[in-house]
């Protein structure tokens, strides 16, 4: 592996490296800005959510600089993983840490000394040893990248004393640029990193913590194992993590799933190191589909194709929850996060909190309360999560959380179920929680029913038309609407004055009735970021995946080191049959093409021949066209005369996405050519449209919910979005 092609002769740009080495068409938000800053040799702090693409921000500069880049990383497993991925891309990278034999250590030292290496990964304690130190002093060190930089701060959740000393190391290499990277964003930690490494505010880059590709759902926990099994039906052969509170729960659930024929392994601190390691490795290599784990699992995991994360029990606080769901969908394809919530779990955590002393105790309570508020909330899930990181979610309906999707669905008449529920609460003397009320309505037989003689109530068994989870959902809606009151300690329900009024007046009540089992809703599929994800050829994908696994096993690396799922999904959507076609797939760099291209091309060609399928053209995306700025490109193309249909085809997205882009375009102050094409999308009569425009006049057009409510849900959100766009267009 020669370095010369990076050193001399040609002067590559970040764009060419992105395309030829990494195989990507465009930068993710902020990546380009960060790279420019580093190229200008300014010390830089990078704060990005997991999956945001931090690594690329030092890897690209590393390939642009003439000298060596040293990457400090605290986790040996991650180091190995990164190096494997880089080597698969043809980038000369190595690591030095305590896991190496003395021969390997020496060999790696020699390679670095001979200038054969562009990126050297080291553990912080290794960097502090005199041998490494003198080695580095003899070389041209251009960039010092400190990954997981929050480990510097005592205020962080993962303080490591060796990290503190990195400040000295940094000072000894004054000509090197220093980068600090982390996914932890609390103000205190940030300030600590900046002061320790002497980075100025001007050089701080923080990207959004919003992970658009995660579908977020919270479901009341009734029969969690059953709910999990049900959920898994939609994730055949797909990787996922299930988090449990206790080791015992981990073992039990792993057993239960395994008995049902799932490919699953447990992971917790009670297992032997070797077994834990084996289980993790099997998961990473796609030999095992599911890991059931305590929170001990995940730190060293870089697996990009985790398609779901289930919280079987309530997490302690929002920060850990967000970190855990963040392990899903790093590859940018959609992933589903499900939290099973019960008040009982909160009580369990409370029990542990009670053993602590203040101020820890009250802090823990605050965290828990924030968590339960989140789980019980009826608004967009993204808002409180982003709020926690000091970010405001723009817009009013994210379209990819359970509550927002529910808001988009039409409301139905729930008067009768509401009356049944309220009467049942009254008949049982307002002394029980929702679960028991539902048991009565369903005519269940259990001890508690017998003890209180509730089978003798007139409301016993009158609610068999709905399922338990549907009734629980109704109950929550009644609480949210103020018809029921829920006492906080024991969750006892009582009927409010408003509830009594509703019973008496027999006034109609609108609300939602879930599908019999909530996960059956095709919600995760509602908004696929790209077409290739939605309509790739599943059979071809499986063939490609098998090939990938074979190649990965042969080189003893995880499959994602060969290609990501996204690369395979694109191949199975566009059926490329030539070198150019294949190079156009995301993640297909030159070296990867040389190594694996033929293998995959021959599979695709054979498959297409057999099934008479032709290659589909994939428009190369323009470099500037990253997701963050796409609305500009869409708006400009529309103004240049392209129709909505053209745009949908070109960007391989649905009409909703185009409307969102155009709305952003116009809200950013740009005029749109005309509303004619847009109004044609509406199915309302001109009179109805007029009514909606009037409502925008009086209520404003920033938030759609008030308008939706104004029309009592009779005008759906799709219509409102179309009409808002026309309205804004006309106003200009
Ligand atoms: P982080 O370290 O911030 O969690 P990574 O650096 O691991 O994120 O990147 C997450 C995923 O996104 C990786 O699979 C990476 O290859 C991919 N990625 C990074 N930058 C881009 C890009 N510009 N275009 C497409 N994929 C990218
Ligand atoms: Zn939402």
Q: For the domain that residue 536 is a member of, what is the CATH number?
A: 1.10.150.80
Query: Do 235 and 348 belong together in one domain?
Result: yes
- Ligand with the closest atom to the CA of 81: 1
Contacts 24+ apart (CB under 8 A), 342-351: 342/220, 342/221, 342/314, 343/372, 343/433, 343/491, 344/221, 345/221, 345/245, 345/313, 345/314, 346/314, 346/371, 346/372, 348/245, 348/313, 348/314, 349/314, 349/316
Place 157 in a pLDDT band, splitting at 50, 70 and 90: low
Co-location of 425 and 477 in the same domain: yes
Domain-embedded: residue 426: yes
For residue 198, is it within any domain? yes
The pLDDT of residue 364 is 84
Contact, 602 vs 613, CB < 8 A? Answer: no
Do 549 and 591 have their domain in common? yes
User: At residue 5, does pLDDT exceed 50?
Assistant: no
Residue 195 and residue 221 in one domain: no
Confidence of residue 439 (pLDDT cuts 50, 70, 90): very high
pLDDT band at 266 (very low <50, low <70, confident <90, very high): very high
Alpha carbon distance 135, 149 (integer Å): 24
Query: Pick the residue with more confidence: 185 or 465?
Result: 465
Q: How far is the CA of 47 from the centre of ligand 1 (A)?
A: 14
pLDDT at position 471: 92
Whether ligand 1 lies within 6 angstroms of the CB of 52 is answered as: yes
Tokens of 320: 């850990």
Asked if the structure places residue 179 within a domain, the reply is yes
Question: Token pair of 134, please?
Answer: 């003198």
Query: Which residues face 335 on adjacent strands?
Result: 214
560 lines ligand 1 (CB under 6 A): no
Asked if residue 417 and residue 384 are part of one domain, the reply reads: no
Half-sphere exposure of 229 (CA within 13 A, CB side): 14
Rg, Å, the chain Cα set: 28
More confident residue, 281 or 487: 281
Whole domain around residue 607: which residue ranges? 531-611
Q: Which two tokens stand for residue 68?
A: 């060596």
* Position 361 in a domain: yes
**Cα–ligand 2 centroid distance for 401 (angstroms):** 4
- pLDDT higher than 70, residue 601: yes
Q: What is the CATH number for 490?
A: 1.10.10.10
Q: Are residues 46 and 22 in the same domain?
A: yes
Among the three residues 344, 362, 395, which one is the final residue of a domain in this structure?
Answer: 395
How many angstroms is it from 28 CA to the middle of ligand 1? Answer: 8
* Distance from residue 332's CA to the centre of ligand 1 (Å): 8
Residue nearest atom 27 in ligand 1 by C-alpha distance: 53
Going from the Cα of 215 to the center of ligand 2, the distance in angstroms, rounded, reads: 9
Q: Where are the alpha helices (DSSP H) in 301-380?
A: 318-325, 343-354, 360-376
Q: Residues 557, 671: one domain?
A: no
Indicate whether 669 pLDDT > 80: no
pLDDT top residue among 537 and 57: 57
Q: Is 396 helix (H, G, I), strand (E, B) or coil?
A: coil
Lowest mean pLDDT among 246-250, 294-298, 463-467, 524-528: 524-528
> What CATH code is carried by the domain that includes residue 647?
1.10.10.1390
Are 559 and 286 within 8 A, CB to CB?
yes
**Index of the ligand 1 atom closest to the CA of residue 52:** 3
Tokens standing for 638? Answer: 């529309």
53 lines ligand 1 (CB under 6 A): yes
Residue 400 lies in a domain: no
Q: Is residue 506 domain-shared with residue 535, that is, in the same domain?
A: no
Distance CA 30, CA 37 (A): 11
Position 625 in a domain: no
Query: What is the rounded average pLDDT of the residues 58-68?
Result: 97
DSSP state string for 395-409? SS--SSBHHHHHHHS
Smallest CA separation from ligand 1 atom 15, residue: 53
Last residue of a domain, one of 161, 186, 206: 206
Instruction: For residue 50, give the ligand 1 atom closest to its CA.
Output: 4
> Which residue, 338, 365, 395, sits at the end of a domain?
395
287: domain CATH number is: 3.40.50.300
At 350, the pLDDT band (50, 70, 90 cuts) reads confident
- Asked if residue 486 has its Cβ within 6 Å of ligand 1, the reply is no
Of 527, 242, 227, 233, give the one whose Cα is nearest residue 404. 527
> What is the pLDDT, as a whole number, of residue 489?
63
Strand partners, 510: 413
> Of the given ranges (4-18, 225-239, 276-290, 615-629), which has the lowest mean pLDDT?
615-629
Query: Is the domain of 233 the same as that of 318?
Result: yes
Please tell me the residue having the least CA distance from ligand 1 atom 26.
Answer: 24
**Section 388-397 average pLDDT:** 81
Work out how many domains the chain is built from and give that number: 5
Q: How far apart are CA 705 and CA 43, in angstroms?
A: 44
Among 30, 55, 182, 621, residue to substitute to test ligand 1 (most atoms within 8 Å of Cβ): 55
* The two structure tokens encoding residue 505: 């007046």
Question: What is the Cβ-side half-sphere exposure of residue 375, based on CA atoms within 13 angstroms?
Answer: 26
Whose structure tokens read 């929680």? 433
Q: Is 149 in the pocket of ligand 1 (CB under 6 A)?
A: no
- For residue 666, what pLDDT is reported? 82
pLDDT surpasses 90 at 240: yes
**Residue 304: CB within 6 Å of ligand 1?**
yes
What's the CA-to-centroid distance between 466 and ligand 2, angstroms? 26
Shortest-distance ligand to the CA of residue 386: 2
Taking CA atoms only, the protein residue closest to ligand 1 atom 18 is 53
Q: 558 in ligand 1 pocket by Cβ < 6 Å?
A: no
CA distance 500 to 178: 66
Q: Is 383 in a helix, a strand, or coil?
A: helix
332 within domain boundaries? yes
> Which ligand 1 atom minimizes the distance to the CA of 24?
24
Ligand 1 pocket test target in 19, 30, 56 with most atoms within 8 Å of CB: 56
Which atom of ligand 1 is found nearest the CA of 54?
3
- Of these ranges, 38-42, 148-152, 722-726, the one predicted with the greatest mean pLDDT is 38-42
Whole-number pLDDT of residue 700: 79
Ligand 1 in reach of 27 Cβ (< 6 A): yes
- State if residue 29 touches ligand 1 by the CB under 6 angstroms criterion: no
Q: Rounded to the nearest whole angstrom, what is the distance from the C-alpha of residue 341 to the centroid of ligand 2? A: 18
pLDDT digits (tens, 9 = 90+) for 195-231: 999 999 889 998 888 898 999 999 888 789 988 998 9
Q: What pLDDT band is residue 625 in, cutting at 50, 70 and 90?
A: very low
- 447 alpha carbon to ligand 1 midpoint, in Å? 54
Please tell me if the CB atom of residue 564 comes closer than 6 angstroms to any atom of ligand 1. yes
Q: Is 375 in the pocket of ligand 1 (CB under 6 A)?
A: no
Query: In 237-347, at which residue ranges do the beta strands (DSSP E only) sit?
Result: 240-243, 264-267, 290-293, 308-311, 335-341
Is residue 531 predicted with pLDDT exceeding 80? no
Same domain, 668 and 604: no
Q: Is residue 525 part of a domain?
A: no
Say if residue 196 is in the same domain as residue 314. Answer: no
Ligand 1 atom nearest residue 564's Cα:
14
Task: Taking residues 579-583, report their average pLDDT.
Answer: 93
**Proximal ligand: closest to the CA of 526:** 2
| Average pLDDT score, the chain | 87
Chain position carrying tokens 């049902």: 260
Q: Is the pLDDT of residue 486 over 50?
A: yes
Contact indicator for 38, 44 with CB cutoff of 8 Å: yes
Q: Is 383 touching ligand 1 by the criterion CB < 6 Å?
A: no
Q: Are residues 184 and 64 in the same domain?
A: yes
Q: What is the 575 CA–ligand 1 centroid distance (Å)?
A: 24
């Amino acid at each position: 592996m020669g370095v010369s092609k990076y050193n001399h002769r040609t002067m590559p740009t970040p764009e060419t490296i992105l395309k030829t080495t990494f195989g990507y068409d465009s930068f993710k938000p902020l990546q380009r800005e960060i790279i420019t800053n580093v190229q200008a040799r300014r010390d830089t702090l990078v704060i990005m959510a997991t999956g945001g693409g931090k690594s690329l921000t030092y890897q690209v500069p590393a390939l642009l600089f003439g000298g060596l880049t040293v990457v400090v990383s605290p986790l040996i497993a991650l180091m190995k993983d990164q190096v494997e991925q880089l080597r698969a891309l043809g980038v000369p990278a190595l690591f030095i840490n305590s896991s190496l034999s003395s021969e390997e250590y020496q060999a790696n030292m020699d390679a670095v000394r001979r200038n054969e290496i562009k990126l050297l990964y080291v553990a912080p304690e290794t960097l502090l040893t005199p041998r490494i130190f003198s080695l580095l002093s003899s070389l041209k060190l251009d960039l010092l990248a400190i990954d997981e930089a929050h480990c510097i701060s005592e205020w962080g959740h993962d303080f490591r004393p060796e990290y503190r000393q990195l400040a000295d190391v940094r000072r000894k290499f004054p000509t090197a640029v220093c980068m600090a990277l982390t996914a932890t964003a609390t103000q205190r930690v940030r300030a600590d990193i900046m002061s320790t490494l002497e980075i100025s505010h001007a050089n701080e880059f923080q990207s959004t913590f919003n992970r658009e590709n995660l579908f977020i759902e919270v479901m009341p926990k009734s029969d969690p194992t059953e709910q999990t099994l049900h959920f898994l039906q939609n994730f055949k052969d797909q990787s996922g993590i299930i988090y449990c509170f206790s080791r015992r729960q981990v073992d039990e659930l792993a057993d239960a799933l395994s008995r049902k024929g799932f490919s699953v392994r447990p992971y917790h601190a009670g297992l032997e190191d070797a077994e834990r390691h084996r289980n993790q490795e099997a998961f990473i290599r796609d030999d095992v589909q599911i890991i059931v784990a305590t929170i001990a699992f995940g730190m060293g995991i870089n697996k990009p194709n985790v398609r779901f994360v289930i919280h079987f029990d309530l997490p302690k606080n929002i920060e850990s929850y967000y970190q855990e769901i963040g392990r899903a969908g790093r590859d940018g394809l959609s992933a589903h996060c499900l939290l099973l919530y019960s008040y009982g779990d909160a009580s369990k955590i409370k029990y542990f909190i009670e053993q602590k002393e203040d101020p820890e105790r009250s802090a823990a309570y605050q965290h828990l309360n924030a968590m339960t508020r989140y789980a019980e909330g009826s608004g967009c899930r993204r808002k409180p999560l982003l709020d926690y990181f000091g970010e405001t979610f723009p817009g009013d309906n994210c379209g990819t959380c359970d509550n927002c999707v529910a808001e988009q669905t039409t409301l139905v008449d729930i008067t009768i179920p509401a009356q049944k529920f309220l009467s049942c609460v009254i008949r049982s003397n307002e002394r029980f929680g929702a679960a028991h009320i539902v048991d009565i309505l369903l005519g269940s037989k259990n001890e508690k029913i017998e003890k209180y003689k509730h089978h003798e109530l007139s409301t016993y068994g009158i609610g068999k038309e709905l399922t338990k989870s549907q009734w629980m959902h109704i109950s929550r809606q009644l609480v949210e609407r103020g018809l029921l009151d829920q006492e906080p300690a024991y969750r006892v329900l009582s009927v409010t004055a408003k509830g009594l009024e509703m019973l008496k007046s027999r006034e109609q009540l609108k609300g939602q009735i879930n599908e019999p089992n909530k996960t059956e809703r095709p919600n995760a599929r509602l908004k696929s970021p790209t077409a290739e994800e939605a309509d790739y050829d599943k059979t071809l994908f499986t063939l490609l995946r098998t090939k990938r696994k074979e190649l990965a096993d042969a080189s003893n690396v995880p499959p994602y080191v060969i290609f990501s799922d996204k690369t395979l999904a694109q191949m199975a959507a566009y059926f490329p049959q030539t070198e150019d076609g294949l190079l156009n797939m995301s993640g297909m760099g030159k070296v990867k093409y040389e190594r694996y291209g033929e293998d995959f091309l021959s599979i695709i060609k054979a498959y297409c021949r057999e099934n008479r399928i032709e290659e589909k053209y994939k428009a190369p995306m323009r470099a500037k066209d990253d997701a963050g700025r796409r609305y500009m490109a869409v708006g400009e193309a529309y103004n240049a005369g392209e129709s909505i249909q053209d745009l949908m085809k070109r960007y391989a997205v649905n009409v909703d996405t185009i409307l969102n882009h155009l709305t952003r375009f116009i809200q950013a102050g740009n005029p749109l050519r005309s509303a004619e094409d847009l109004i044609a999308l509406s199915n309302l009569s001109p009179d109805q449209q007029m009514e909606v425009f009037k409502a925008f006049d009086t209520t404003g057009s920033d938030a759609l919910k008030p308008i939706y409510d104004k029309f009592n849900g009779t005008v759906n959100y799709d219509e409102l979005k179309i009409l808002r766009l026309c309205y804004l267009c006309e106003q200009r």
